[in-house]
């Protein structure tokens, strides 16, 4: 089976082969969104990216603006080569699954798709798992063997254990050394404001920062009725209760929390997405990256 043979995009969540998933996702999400390379006088054109304040207006593609009412800047291959840093939460809470997929399962497929896109563009990629600091680091590299190594690392990882996000905060700047693209996928359950502060710091240092919050459907909205035992997958603590009395308040609290994180992210120039694992991965990625790419 090849990536192009997968007709239903949501099959990407069911397929275990992360290399295949990464290639297929990149094709499904970004096919036709990047200009093919062609030679021109002077600098070789490579791709378009979303306009950033301060870009040379002579490099804006006004023909694209006339068609799409969005500003795009032309980049050369040399200018376009920026490292991609993948930061994926692998703590115990990412093992939550009130459906067929854990949050980490979903996050790994997001990472594989973005990693293959970077590979197709000639960009190097590095991977780190967030747990008790940065773990399972795959140093920056490129090529199909490197992509296979990133997929193998993600496939062999099982989310679990407590996190130490204070240590994560200390180690992220050293991991993301050269300005590039930083992609973080987490449920943002631990030190979320500090984590957003870390990302804002990376943005200030010249990185293009993207963050995706992934929740389980039952975390976003409790079941309508029934008695449930809630388990903290990181600490192991348990709480038994009936959900009827908590459902409305819980839904409002979670909605306000998610909205607050979105506001803080946007205020710091961070591209933000918040979704549950019940949402389609292809439309989610299309919306998150629409008009920007990597």
Domains with residue ranges and CATH for the chain = 3-30+81-289 (3.40.50.410), 45-79 (no CATH)
**Which residue carries 């093919």 as its tokens?**
36
What was the pLDDT predicted at 174? Answer: 93
Residue-by-residue pLDDT tens, the chain, 294 positions = 343 333 345 667 777 788 888 888 888 877 645 433 222 333 455 567 788 776 778 878 888 888 888 888 876 655 557 899 999 999 999 999 887 789 999 999 999 999 998 888 888 999 999 999 999 999 999 999 999 999 999 999 999 999 999 999 999 999 999 889 999 999 999 899 999 999 999 999 999 999 999 999 988 887 765 555 566 655 666 666 666 667 788 889 999 999 999 999 999 999 999 999 999 898 898 888 874 555
Answer yes or no: are the C-beta atoms of 265 and 272 closer than 8 Å: yes
What pLDDT was estimated at residue 242? Answer: 60
- Per-residue pLDDT, 192: 94
User: What is the per-residue burial (b if ≥16 Cβ within 10 Å, else e) of 33-70?
Assistant: ebeeeeeeeeeebbbbbbbeeebeeebbbeebeeeeee
């Amino acid at each position: 089976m090849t990536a192009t043979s997968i007709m239903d995009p949501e099959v990407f969540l069911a397929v275990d082969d992360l290399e295949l998933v990464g290639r297929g996702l990149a094709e499904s999400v970004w096919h036709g969104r990047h200009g093919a390379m062609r030679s021109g006088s002077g600098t070789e054109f490579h791709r378009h990216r979303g306009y950033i304040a301060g870009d040379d207006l002579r490099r804006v593609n006004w023909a694209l603006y006339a068609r799409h009412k969005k500003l795009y800047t032309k980049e050369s291959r040399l200018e376009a080569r920026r490292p991609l840093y993948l930061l994926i939460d692998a703590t115990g809470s990412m093992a939550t699954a009130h459906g067929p997929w854990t949050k980490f399962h979903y996050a790994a497929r997001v990472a594989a798709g973005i990693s293959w896109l970077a590979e197709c563009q000639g960009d190097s990629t590095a991977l780190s798992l967030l747990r008790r600091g940065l773990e399972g680091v795959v140093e920056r590299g490129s090529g199909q063997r490197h992509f296979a190594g990133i997929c193998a690392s993600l496939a062999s990882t099982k989310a679990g254990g407590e996190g130490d996000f204070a240590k994560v905060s200390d180690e992220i700047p050293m991991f993301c050394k050269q300005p590039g693209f930083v992609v973080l996928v987490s449920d943002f359950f631990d030190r979320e404001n500090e984590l957003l502060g870390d990302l804002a710091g990376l943005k200030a240092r010249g990185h293009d920062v993207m963050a995706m919050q992934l929740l389980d459907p039952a975390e976003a909205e409790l079941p309508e009725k029934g008695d449930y035992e809630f388990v903290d997958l990181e600490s192991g603590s348990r709480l038994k209760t009936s959900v009827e009395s908590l459902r409305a308040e819980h839904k409002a609290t979670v909605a306000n929390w998610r909205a607050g994180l979105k506001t803080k992210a946007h205020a710091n120039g961070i591209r933000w997405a918040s979704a549950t694992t019940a949402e389609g991965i292809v439309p989610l990625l299309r919306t998150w990256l629409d008009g920007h790419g990597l």
